[in-house]
Amino acid sequence: MTDFAPFELVIFDCDGVLVDSERLSIQLDVELLAELGWPLSESEIVARFVGRTEAAMRAEIEEHLGRDVGTEWAAFSERYVAAFANGLEPVEGVSAAVDAIQASGVATCVASSGDHRKIRRNLAKTGLLERFDGRIFSGDDVEHGKPAPDLFLHAATVMGVDPARCAVVEDSRHGVVAARAAGMTAFGFAGGVTPGAALAGPRTTLFDDMRYLPRLLGVAG
36, 111, 144 from 108: Cα distances, Å: 39, 10, 22
Helix or strand run (H / E) with residue 143: none
Contact 60, 33 (CB under 8 A): no
- The closest of 161, 10, 199 to 97, measured between CA atoms, is 10
Active-site option among 15, 20, 29, 171: 15
Whole-angstrom distance, CA of residue 70 vs CA of residue 77:
10
Q: From the candidates 3, 13, 99, 171, give the one annotated as an active-site residue.
A: 13
Residue 168 to residue 148: CA distance in whole angstroms: 14
* ∠ Cα 12 14 16 (to 5°): 110
Cβ atoms of 132 and 169 closer than 8 Å: no
Burial of 184 (0-12, 13-18, 19+ CB in 10 A): buried
The answer to whether 171 is a known catalytic residue is no
Count H helices and E strands in the chain, helices first: 11, 6
Q: Does residue 140 carry a catalytic annotation? A: no
Q: Which residues have a catalytic role annotated?
A: 13, 15
